[in-house]
A and B are shown apart, each in its own frame.
Chain A
Amino acid sequence: MIEVLIVSVLVVACGFYWLGRLAPSVTRRMWRGTGHVLEAVRAPAPMRQAVAGRANAAPGGGCGGCKGCDKGSGGCH
């Protein structure tokens, strides 16, 4: 049962990662919703801040959601 739970979490996390890459506006809305829930249940401040950071994250300046050229490395995706 625990194995199934771990696998499910991993698969959902990977799906969420790709949703964020392909449709970042959708994931930002989801993070915003999560932020409201955390506010309502008075979750710890660091958790709320982390979620707020993701909800308000600016889209990458690069292409295809890539942030390579935003960083100092100058690496292209």
Chain B
Amino acid sequence: MDAMVDILPLRAALVGNPNCGKTALFNQLTGSRQKVANYAGVTVERKEGRLTTPGGRPVRLLDLPGAYSLTATSPDEAVTRDVCAGRYRGEAAPELLICVLSATNLRLHLRFALEVRQLGRPMVVVLNMVDAARQQGMVIDVPRLQQELGVPVVTAVAIRRNGATDLLDLLDHPPLTGPAPLEGNEDVHVTVRRLLADCVSRPSAASEAFEDRLDRWVLSPVWGLVILFALMFVMFQAVFSWAQPLMDAIDGGVSAFGEMVRHILPDGVLQSLIVDGVIAGAGTVVVFLPQILILFLWILVLEESGYLPRAAFLLDRIMAAAGLSGRSFIPLLSSFACAVPGIMATRTIQNPRDRLITILLAPLMTCSARLPVYTLLIAAFVPDRTVGGIFNLHGLVLFTLYMAAILSALAVAWVLKRGGKTAEHPLLLELPAYRLPNLRDLGLGLWQRAVIFLSRVGTIIVTLSVLLWALSSFPAPPAGATGPAIDYSLAGRIGHWMLPLFAPIGFNWQICVALIPGLAAREVAVSALATVYAVGGTETDAAAQLTPLLSAQWSLATALSLLAWYVFAPQCFSTLAVIRRETGGWKMVTITATYLFGLAYAASFVTWRLALAFGGGPS
């Protein structure tokens, strides 16, 4: 029987306050690469991993969302509460609770540890970030803390290699029984104060001064906003300026590859499929990889540094004016990378109505999939020159598009909030310590984004390009036909059939065709346009020539109208699928799709008409 117990994996769960380093510890122990960042609320679902201790004991480890208390106030905290209490459906209660505390914030985190302790389950306490605490001048008497808490206490630096060896050793011989109840009937706050007084030497005021001085600028209502806008502005300038040499290199490589394949394969249907379908389609999107990586580099640096929660704090007043709480900031900010994790991050919002409104707004944030569409059209229609001697006009237009999305989201929130009163939930936000971004984590984050982007190109975009090539090539024109062959194809017919609906907003039939596969993911529209123009035209290298081709064939009004469409249109199946999952039905999906498509059509119509009025129409 004892042998059986040894073989069966130990079920352990990581619990703790948000941003105490649970996921970093989970990654360190299990070798996973779950997302970590220097702000609260990154993990909103339970994650599971496995590890083997140095003594050979298998452990099944759960990483739970951070919680301030076991009295849950939001859906993500409810997951932690239910798992700890053994009430989570399909999940037996953990045999060991690993309570992770940030050594730099013991006053808050010890309170949660005492609450977990009251459950009476076997537990250990991990003092994480002891290196940061040491840098701040804190001295923690670990044996004394262990004695006072009555549970094993170990230290860790979860982001450092081999930073959790003490915990691994402890998992070889974990406590089998829960701690005895604390003596007396002391209030938890009094207990925390006593523990801090007995076990922790506080840092001197001077060592805290630098962060405080920085926060005085960063959180200033005036200078803080100036810094925030300057950061965003430089970010979009960098997306265009830094990426250009790499994009030119990839573009050249794709063109050369297309030419090589064209010479190797004989003229015919297979050559057309590979060159006009796959290379023209996927090649045009691959070119945007450097821009996407630069955008993510900025986002990752801001995440790791601890700046983002400060930006949330700063924007709380502006968001409150639109009827949103500051808690919506992190989900909306995550949506700049992708709306899917952004919508999932709304689980940290307590108020159900606020949560629904944030879900409705998330698709309006400019996700990275829009970047190829924006960049293509900006490069084709906006002159490449500097403004005021330093600012790149392309970057300026991109910044404007992002701002347009943000302002639209605030306007929509304001309108939605007028529909009903909600209980006020003031923003209570934990500001993490500033941290220099870890180069290894940045590299890993960028590598993951590159892999995700390239696997999307290799699966979604290549397969859709092949299908679109088939639809654009067949059926062949009848004998004696005089028009372009693509007009007789299925795609051509679908495009012309859709045209009456989209002509009032300035779209041509090629755009109509590109919108259909573009429903799968926004960037597919770029590859679809490349394929349609490659099959329908005489160009030998549509992948490289799409930008000049569009500037020659489209009017400025059409390009602006399409940009306006992409600011609003919910062209992403995954986003709609996650809304269905998070809201548990199709009602919100229908509402989201209807209002966003309606908004997209109206914005494109107004843009098209205004552009025509100002002389941007076809010449």
Q: List residues of A whose CB falls within 8 A of some B CB.
A: 3-4, 6-7, 10-11, 14-15, 17-18, 63-66, 68-69, 72-77
Contact = CB atoms under 8 A, between A and B. Distances in A.
Contact of B448 (A11, A17, A73): A73
Nearest to B462: A14
B467 to A, nearest CB: 5
Nearest to A18: B463
Nearest to A69: B45
A66 B574 contact: yes
Contact of A6 (B34, B35, B270, B470): B270
Contacts of B4: none
Contacts of A72: 30-34, 49
A64 B470 contact: no
B269 A17 contact: no
B578 A63 contact: yes
Given A11-B466, A17-B459, A64 B269 contact: no
B536 to A, nearest CB: 18
Given A11-B466, A11-B470, A64 B33 contact: no
B385 interface: no
Given A63-B581, A73-B451, A76-B341, A10 B49 contact: no
A63 B574 contact: yes
Q: State the main secondary structure of chain A at its contact with B.
A: helix
B452 interface: yes
B478 interface: no
Contacts of A7: 269-270, 273
A3 B269 contact: yes
B338 interface: yes
A38 to B, nearest CB: 25
Nearest to A65: B577
A3 B610 CA distance: 49
Q: Which of B45, B464, B466 has the most CB of A within 10 A?
A: B466
A76 B338 contact: yes
Lowest 10 A-B CB distances belong to which pairs?
Answer: A64-B577, A64-B574, A63-B578, A74-B34, A14-B463, A3-B270, A63-B577, A14-B466, A72-B32, A11-B470
Interface residues of B, number: 33
A3 B463 contact: no
Given A3-B268, A7-B273, A66-B574, 15 more contacts: A3-B270, A6-B270, A10-B466, A14-B463, A14-B464, A18-B463, A64-B577, A64-B578, A66-B340, A72-B32, A72-B33, A74-B448, A75-B451, A77-B338, A77-B456
Nearest to B27: A74
Contacts of B340: 63, 66, 76-77
A75 B296 CA distance: 13
Contacts of B32: 72, 74
A66 B455 CA distance: 12
A4 B269 contact: yes
Given A3-B270, A7-B270, A18 B464 contact: yes
B574 A77 contact: yes
27 contacts: A3-B268, A3-B270, A7-B269, A7-B273, A11-B466, A11-B467, A14-B462, A14-B464, A14-B466, A14-B467, A17-B459, A63-B578, A63-B581, A64-B573, A64-B578, A69-B45, A72-B33, A74-B32, A74-B34, A74-B47, A75-B448, A75-B451, A75-B452, A76-B340, A76-B452, A77-B338, A77-B340
B171 to A, nearest CB: 20
Contacts of A74: 32-35, 47, 448
Contacts of A4: 269
Interface in B262-291: 268-270, 273
Nearest to A15: B467
Nearest to B341: A76
A64 B344 CA distance: 14
A69 B341 CA distance: 10
Given A11-B466, A14-B467, A63-B578, A68 B269 contact: no
A5 to B, nearest CB: 10
Nearest to B339: A76
Nearest to B581: A63
A68 B578 CA distance: 13
Nearest to A68: B452
